[in-house]
Amino acid sequence: MATAHSSHSRIRSTAFKKNQQVVYPLQGVGKIQSIEERVFKDRKILYYIIYLEVSDMTVMIPVDKAEEIGIRAIVGKKEAESALTFISEDYDPVPADWKLRYQMNLDLLKQGSVVDIARVVRTLYHRSKIKELPILERKLFDSALRLLVDEISFALGLKKDESEQMIFAKLELELTERLKTSTAAQRDDDEDYEEFDGEGDDADSGGDDLD
């Protein structure tokens, strides 16, 4: 028993703890089941043993590589709410070339911040309203949405279906606002055209009077 105690005492402090929920970029939310030393190529390496519920898979991540891979803690309530607000805001146009757009969004998912994930969801959702997404982009959207739903659920203490409904409500809010703006702009253009058209009629009738 003394030997086992000595072995555990040599394990240094780590950024994440046992039973902590973490985000694994492109994979989803996972739970650290244990932190263990394993021998690899005659070297003792400390690993996070992480269970990913969404794929029912357990992965081993070297503690020293976790930050490089992008493993991070789940955001707090405030950051989760900010991400939800973010997806309901206006956004800049994205490349029309889907391959360029795909790579751009894939890079964002690899970076793995909750805002990066929200940006991908927002971009591809609204793009799908303009034109059907290619298969690869559709899969990317599904992955991004799953990642966002998982993290929002854990951060806000909601069921996954509740988080998904909330996300789509925020996305539709932005779409509605954009439609209102577009309709208002079209109405202004129509009014300008009618005013110009009316002036043209007056000019014609004035010409007839001169005759």
Q: Residue 45 and residue 63: Cα distance in Å, rounded?
A: 8
Query: What number is the average pLDDT over the span 37-44?
Result: 89
Residue located via tokens 């996954």: 160
Q: Name the pTM for this structure.
A: 0.75
Report which of 122, 115, 108 is spatially closest to residue 152, judged by C-alpha positions: 115
Domains with residue ranges and CATH for the chain = 7-73 (2.40.10.170), 77-173 (1.20.58.1290)
State how far Cα 89 lies from the chain centre: 14
Q: Residue 114 and residue 58: Cα distance in Å, rounded?
A: 22
In this predicted model, what pLDDT tens digit does every residue of 93-152 receive, in sequence order?
Answer: 888 889 999 999 999 999 989 999 999 999 999 999 889 999 999 999 999 999 999 999
Q: ∠ CA 72-102-132 to the nearest 5 degrees?
A: 120
